[in-house]
Amino acid sequence: MKVLDSRHLTKEVSSPDGTLTIVDDVSLGVEQGESVAIVGASGAGKSTLLAILAGLDTPTRGQVFLNGAELTALDEDGRAAARARHVGFVFQSFHLVPSLTALENVMLPLELAGEPDAARTARRALDQVGLAARTAHYPRQLSGGEQQRVAIARAFVGRPDVLFVDEPTGNLDTATGAHVADLLFDLNRAARTTLLLVTHEHHLARRCDRVIELEAGRLVRRAG
Amino acid sequence: MGALGFALKALGRDARGGELAVLFWGLAVAVTALTAVGFFTSRVAQAIQQQAGEVLAGDLRLEAGRPVDLDDSYAREAARRGLLVARTLTFPSVVYSGETGNLALIDGVSPQYPLRGRLRIADAPYAPGRATTGIPARGEAWADSRLLARLDVPVGGTLKVGALTVRVAHVLDYRPDQGSAFVAFAPTLLVSYEDIAATQLLQPGSRATWSLLFAGPSAAVEEFEGWLRGRKSAAERLVDVAESSDQLKSAMERSGRFLNLAALATLLLAAVAVAMGARRYATRHLDTIALMKCMGATQRFVLTVTGLELLSVALAGATAGIAGGWVAQAGLAWLTRGLVRGGLPAPAFAAAWLGVGTAVAILIGFASPPLLQLRQVPPARVLRRTLGPPPLRYGFTYVIAAGTLLALLYALVRDAKLVSYVAGGLLATGAALYAAGWLLVRATRSVRGAAGVAWRYGLANVARRGRDSIVQIVAFGLGLTVLLLLAVVRNDLLDEWRHSLPKDAPNHFLINIAPAEADNLKRFLTSNGVVVPELAPWVRARLTAINDQPVGKRMPHSDRGRAFVEREQNLSWSRDLPPDNRLVQGSWWHDPDPHRPLVSVATEYQEELGLKLGDRLTFDVAGETVVAAVANVRKVRWDGFRPNFFLLFAPGVLDTATGTFMTSVHLDAAQRPALAGLVRRFPGVTVIDVETVLGQVREVMDKAALAVQYVFAFTLLAGVIVLLAAVQSTRDERRYESAILRTLGASRRTVLRGVAAEFVALGLLSGVLAASAASIAGWLVATRLLNLGYSFDPGVWLLGLGAGALLVGLAGTLATRSVVNTPPTTTLRQA
């Protein structure tokens, strides 16, 4: 069954030079538990496609279905509710809230979803990424690799159906990056989460079940 | 977790991170200033109400030219409502000592008299008096010094009034309801109410005033007044404390305005600080909100959480402010101790609610626009940081803020004129600052190539930040305007006010000076070392018609208006506009045409009778009809203690009328004994001692000046908070820029000098603008609001430039120093 299905997605923006097409007629289906890498050069439209598929942005034309429900037919609050139930994120720049400790950052999605025992669940998630000793640290007191591990714990803690990952190792050195990537794929396998990964690193893309490539907003290659 | 719980957690985290400090302190200072003034004025108002009651010798007075309440029904009803009741009966009559007689005001009083204030008696004429309880016993009288001096009767001597013989037991030094208006100013002979009948002087139709006095708790008095209004006859006139002494009321009103002005200025500045704090709060929360939305937070949830968090800040700020206000009002009460006899009553708690309302309203008006904007942060910002919410519509923002502020100001002071001046001033200053800021930002674009690297960087920043720079200039400018107002203009205003009542202000009025005696009297006074100003002519007349319509047909509704119509008025004439008068409508006559008689009316008279320029007033002046057109309207400063008139004619109109002269003089303690000689030598002249009222007014001024300085300290604090908020508003951006510059090889010194150049430039411009604004504000406040003179002080501009460059430059540089000192790697890693 397709967890995520997109049909003829197009995203246009206006610029001083006229209309720019960022994503151009992209149709894509992702099966339950599948991991898909989206690769392409800078400016190919990878992040915009990810944003539209995750319901963070809206397409100019086309449709997105998440768990069978049309995401593109919903308003901002409807999409927010869908994200809360089904989606998790890991970003290149971590996006931890600087005023919250590691534990509080992981608790955040649970608190937003109104889960009763957020602290205990979050502590367990931090333990899984090897940061049990760092719960009271603020992001500025953590290294880049540690910050990304907190972000990964935060992404998995709500048991999402689909995990959207944007350049997870882009801000990390090679060794740390490899370590974080291992952690991400291990957790993904264990939780059987569907994974959609945007990256320009081929070794990372190759670890996915399927790789698709974008060029100037168009889908040019599918490999699996 | 519900929105409330989430908001409380967010509050704790943001408070820990120092995000809310500017908002909290801005609100706390505003509420402290407002509630301190509110608590304090509520106490003074209650005390003044009680004290003003002294002028009536009660809280409420019912007067009539014939016996009142013959069946005792009013008195019984008043007693039933728990009020005290007293009666007085006054009439003019000649008092004899042997063959010598003198006109006196016989005042018969019942044992409860006076219900408010105390009688003062002395042992010899013009000797210092002491307070007493009780009234003259049957067969005894307490006589005015003037009467005893004229009749040459000692204490213990006897006097005859009609068929009644009384022994003079004491000199009457003061009775609360003696008043300071110039009606029937014969010396008083105070006797027991029960003795009046024995004089056998009162016949039906006699000219006498019967009064019933009432006093009690203010709510009960108010209810009883309503009851009485419904029952009293048209001939019975109700006088309440609102019609108390004009001089004291005028001084009290002015000090109230000063205090309100200080509180309003604080409120205004706090609002600016809150607006800037909220902008920064919103900017710093963009990422977090985008992240929360990414995790499924709805717009409504974001709005609710932010709103609840801010509401909690408002409540915390208000609570701290109310506590601060409570403590501060105790300080105010201590500073002004003794101002109100018998101490101040407890403050009314209503001011606390005002504090809460104010905090919430400031927050809604000034913080809601950027917060509403937060709701619209696109969640895709987590992927692309350049994505922001749609830009704030500034017009919309300012309309909300200005509307909230105006409503708030009006609710606070209930003084439309004061609010319109403050609001107009704020709007004009803000607009001027905005326009000037825009010009400066444009100008810096063209000059920056010519400056050194530090200045180039600094000026480039001013130009590049564009709208942010303009907002900063407006904030710095408003902050500096208030600081300058406080530093210079406030002192000028307070001095001007104090000087309006100098040490040698007149403390005695001399009235009923016959034209033939005028020169002799002047010589007498000069020989006793008294400086005699010009004598003002004085004629008594009754208004008979307005625009040829008999006045009986358009009787005013208020008692004061009726008094203007029913009673004889004091008229005078003058070639020049007298010193304590200011024209508010029409123009002054310079070369009046004697064939076109003109009259000038005081604002009180114009308002009560609803007069317009050009209206024709007809007067009966000792049987002769005089018709004059209203040429202008004057605002009179009654607390100047000089002869002033509701009605002033152009010269040549009343010259033929038989009148007298009046004047006011200053007599020091050593000159006072000469008064006994004066009344003996000029028996027709009446001397009115206004030293007590003068002393009260002067005390109000001194104490109010202290209180105003005290409240302005909060305004100063609010000004400093605005400066800090303005500096803080671009701190994050500066941190990042500084890191980039230093990475590129700029030394800390270069970066710091650039920052200093930027703030000094902003400070210089804000300083000049603020000095202009402060001078104009000072002039407006003095001339339009407080009715005082004002002279421009060029020092304000120098101080503005210096203070602007120094304060803004120093505060800005110091506050951003830590930004420059942070290692660039730390900053860039966090970015």
Give the pairing type, strands B624-636 and B549-550: unpaired
Write out chain B residues lying below 8 Å of A87, CB-based.
296
DSSP state, B220?
A: H
Q: Given CB atoms, is A72 within the 8 Å cutoff of chain B?
A: no
CB contact set of B387 (below 8 Å; sequence gap of 6+) = B290, B378, B380, B381
Residue type, A221: R
Q: Are B30 and B270 in contact (CB under 8 A)?
A: yes
Q: Are B57 and B213 in contact (CB under 8 A)?
A: yes
Write out chain A residues lying below 8 Å of B17, CB-based.
98-99
pLDDT at A10: 94
CB contact set of A181 (below 8 Å; sequence gap of 6+) = A168, A169, A204, A207
- Average pLDDT over every residue of B822-829: 61
pLDDT at B48: 62
- Determine the number of helices (DSSP H) and then strands (DSSP E) in chain A: 7, 10
Q: In this structure, is the dihedral angle defined by the CA atoms of residues A185, A191, A192 and A196, taken in order, positive or negative?
A: negative
Asked whether residue B400 falls in the same domain as residue B422, the answer is no
Containing domain of residue A173, as a range? 2-223
Asked whether residue B221 falls in the same domain as residue B261, the answer is no
DSSP state, B552?
A: G
Burial of A144 (0-12, 13-18, 19+ CB in 10 A): middle
A7 or B829, greater pLDDT: A7
Write out chain A residues lying below 8 Å of B297, CB-based.
80, 84, 112
Whether the predicted model's global pTM rises above the 0.80 cut: no
Q: Which DSSP helix (H) or strand (E) runs through B642? A: none
- From A47, A51, A83, residue closest to B295, measured CB to CB: A83
Residue B189 CA, chain-centre distance (Å), reads 38
Which residues is A29 bridged to in the sheet? Answer: A5
CB atoms within 10 A of CB A152: 26
CATH number of A131's domain? 3.40.50.300
Residue pLDDT, tens place only, B693-705: 677 667 666 776 6
> What does the H/E/C string look like for B521-561?
HHHHHHHCCCCCCCCEEEEEEEEEEECCEEHHHHCCCCHHH
Question: What are B16's two structure tokens?
Answer: 């820990």
Residue type, B557: H
8 Å CB contact of A81 and B383: no
Q: Domain for residue B672, yes or no?
A: no
CB contact set of B441 (below 8 Å; sequence gap of 6+) = B462, B463, B466, B469, B470
Q: CA-to-CA distance for A28 and A140, rounded, in angstroms?
A: 38
pLDDT at B392: 62
Residue B171 CA, chain-centre distance (Å), reads 38
Question: What are B178's two structure tokens?
Answer: 């003696």
Containing domain of residue B332, as a range? 1-53+248-409
Which single residue is written with the structure tokens 């703030």? Answer: B759
Which single residue is written with the structure tokens 């105390």? Answer: B118
**Which of B409, B425, B447 represents a domain boundary (last residue)?**
B409
8 Å CB contact of A81 and B296: yes
Q: CA-to-CA distance for B506 and B580, rounded, in angstroms?
A: 13
8 Å CB contact of A99 and B14: yes
pLDDT at B182: 37
DSSP state, B547?
A: T
Write out chain A residues lying below 8 Å of B383, CB-based.
47-48, 50-51, 56, 91, 166
Residue pLDDT, tens place only, B706-747: 777 777 777 777 777 777 777 777 777 777 777 776 766 667
Asked whether residue B196 falls in the same domain as residue B79, the answer is yes
**Which of B247, B262, B294 represents a domain boundary (last residue)?**
B247
Q: Are B725 and B270 in contact (CB under 8 A)?
A: no
Asked whether residue B485 falls in the same domain as residue B336, the answer is no
- From A48, A80, A99, residue closest to B13, measured CB to CB: A99
At B17, phi and psi to the nearest 5? -80, 0
Q: Given CB atoms, is A113 within the 8 Å cutoff of chain B?
A: yes
Q: Given CB atoms, is A196 within the 8 Å cutoff of chain B?
A: no
Q: Are A19 and A30 in contact (CB under 8 A)?
A: no
Residue pLDDT, tens place only, B502-533: 777 788 888 778 888 888 888 888 888 888 77
Residue pLDDT, tens place only, B164-213: 999 999 999 888 777 544 334 578 899 999 999 898 888 766 678 899 99
pLDDT at B84: 93
Number of domains in chain A: 1
Burial of B745 (0-12, 13-18, 19+ CB in 10 A): exposed
Question: What are A139's two structure tokens?
Answer: 């992001």
- Please say if the pLDDT value at position B441 is more than 80: no
DSSP string for A45-78: SHHHHHHHHTTSS--SEEEEEETTEEGGGS-HHH
Number of domains in chain B: 4
Q: HSE of B718 in the Cβ direction (CA atoms, 13 Å)?
A: 33
- Average pLDDT over every residue of B227-250: 70
Residue pLDDT, tens place only, B759-787: 888 788 888 888 888 888 778 777 776 66
- From A80, A89, A108, residue closest to B382, measured CB to CB: A89
Strand ranges (E), B605-734: 616-621, 624-636, 647-649, 660-665, 686-689
8 Å CB contact of B296 and A113: yes
- Please say if the pLDDT value at position B540 is more than 90: no
Residue of B nearest to A110 (CA): B1
CA dihedral B18, B20, B26, B29 (to 10 degrees): -70
Q: CA-to-CA distance for B629 and B547, rounded, in angstroms?
A: 9
Asked whether residue B827 falls in the same domain as residue B716, the answer is yes
Give the pairing type, strands B624-636 and B581-586: antiparallel
pLDDT at B344: 72
- Average pLDDT over every residue of B434-444: 76
Q: Are B758 and B459 in contact (CB under 8 A)?
A: yes
- From B287, B297, B384, residue closest to A112, measured CB to CB: B297
CB atoms within 10 A of CB B164: 18
Average pLDDT, chain B: 79
8 Å CB contact of B299 and A77: yes
Residue type, B59: D
Q: By mean pLDDT, which of A19-33, A105-119, A198-212 is the weakest?
A: A105-119
Asked whether residue B47 falls in the same domain as residue B59, the answer is no
B357 or A124, greater pLDDT: A124
Residue type, B513: I
Asked whether residue B615 falls in the same domain as residue B708, the answer is no
Residue of B nearest to A97 (CA): B288
Residue pLDDT, tens place only, B562-588: 778 877 788 888 888 888 888 888 888
8 Å CB contact of A47 and B383: yes
- From B297, B384, B830, residue closest to A80, measured CB to CB: B297
Q: How far is B489 from chain A (nearest CA, A)?
A: 45
Q: CA-to-CA distance for B174 and B68, rounded, in angstroms?
A: 26
Mutate to test the interface with A, among B383, B387, B827, B828 (most CBs of A within 10 A): B383
Q: CA-to-CA distance for B157 and B442, rounded, in angstroms?
A: 90
**Which of B215, B247, B279 represents a domain boundary (last residue)?**
B247
Q: Are B75 and B69 in contact (CB under 8 A)?
A: yes
- Determine the number of helices (DSSP H) and then strands (DSSP E) in chain B: 25, 22
Mutate to test the interface with A, among B294, B299, B381, B830 (most CBs of A within 10 A): B294
pLDDT at B181: 40
Q: In this structure, is the dihedral angle defined by the CA atoms of residues B218, B219, B220 and B222, taken in order, positive or negative?
A: positive
Q: By mean pLDDT, which of B659-668, B735-744, B754-763 is the weakest?
A: B735-744
Give the pairing type, strands A162-166 and A35-39: unpaired
> What does the H/E/C string look like for B317-380?
HHHHHHHHHHHHHHHHHHHCCCCCCCCCCCCCCHHHHHHHHHHHHHHHHHHHHHHHHHCCCCHH
Residue B260 pLDDT grade (very low, low, confident, very high; cuts 50, 70, 90): confident
pLDDT at A16: 80
Q: What is the CA radius of gyration of chain B?
A: 34
DSSP state, B533?
A: -
- Average pLDDT over every residue of B1-16: 76
Q: Domain for residue B144, yes or no?
A: yes
Average pLDDT, chain A: 88
DSSP state, B804?
A: I
- From A48, A77, A83, residue closest to B300, measured CB to CB: A77
Asked whether residue B258 falls in the same domain as residue B312, the answer is yes
Nearest to B261, CA basis, from B8, B515, B33, B5: B33
Q: Given CB atoms, is A140 within the 8 Å cutoff of chain B?
A: yes
CB contact set of A143 (below 8 Å; sequence gap of 6+) = A176
Q: Which residues of B touch A (CB under 8 A)?
A: 1-2, 6, 9, 13-14, 16-17, 19, 287-288, 291-301, 378-380, 382-384, 826, 829-830
B445 or B766, greater pLDDT: B766
Residue B244 pLDDT grade (very low, low, confident, very high; cuts 50, 70, 90): very low
Asked whether residue B107 falls in the same domain as residue B186, the answer is yes
8 Å CB contact of B299 and A91: no
**Residue ranges of the alpha helices (H) in B108-193?**
145-151
Residue pLDDT, tens place only, A157-185: 988 899 999 888 887 788 888 888 888 88
pLDDT at B417: 73
Residue B829 pLDDT grade (very low, low, confident, very high; cuts 50, 70, 90): low
Nearest to B486, CA basis, from B275, B22, B231, B800: B800
Nearest to B643, CA basis, from B538, B568, B567: B538
Asked whether residue B401 falls in the same domain as residue B465, the answer is no
Asked whether residue B83 falls in the same domain as residue B193, the answer is yes
CB contact set of B803 (below 8 Å; sequence gap of 6+) = B480, B483, B484, B487, B767
Distances, alpha carbon B553 to alpha carbons B238, B544, B557, in Å: 21, 10, 12
- Average pLDDT over every residue of B799-807: 84
B529 in the Ramachandran plot: left (φ > 0), alpha (ψ -120 to 50) or beta?
left
8 Å CB contact of A56 and B383: yes
Q: CA-to-CA distance for B379 and B192, rounded, in angstroms?
A: 89
Question: What are B765's two structure tokens?
Answer: 């411009």
Q: CA-to-CA distance for B333 and B328, rounded, in angstroms?
A: 9
% of residues, chain A, pLDDT over 90: 36
Which single residue is written with the structure tokens 């204490």? Answer: B155
Q: Are B95 and B159 in contact (CB under 8 A)?
A: yes
pLDDT at B189: 93
Strand ranges (E), B355-492: none
Q: CA-to-CA distance for B212 and B86, rounded, in angstroms?
A: 6
Q: Given CB atoms, is A118 within the 8 Å cutoff of chain B?
A: yes
Q: Given CB atoms, is A112 within the 8 Å cutoff of chain B?
A: yes
Q: CA-to-CA distance for B781 and B801, rounded, in angstroms?
A: 23
- Average pLDDT over every residue of B615-627: 87
Asked whether residue B561 falls in the same domain as residue B709, the answer is no
Residue pLDDT, tens place only, A42-99: 888 888 899 899 888 889 999 999 998 998 998 888 888 888 888 888 888 888 887 7
Write out chain A residues lying below 8 Å of B379, CB-based.
56-57, 80, 83
Q: Given CB atoms, is A119 within the 8 Å cutoff of chain B?
A: no
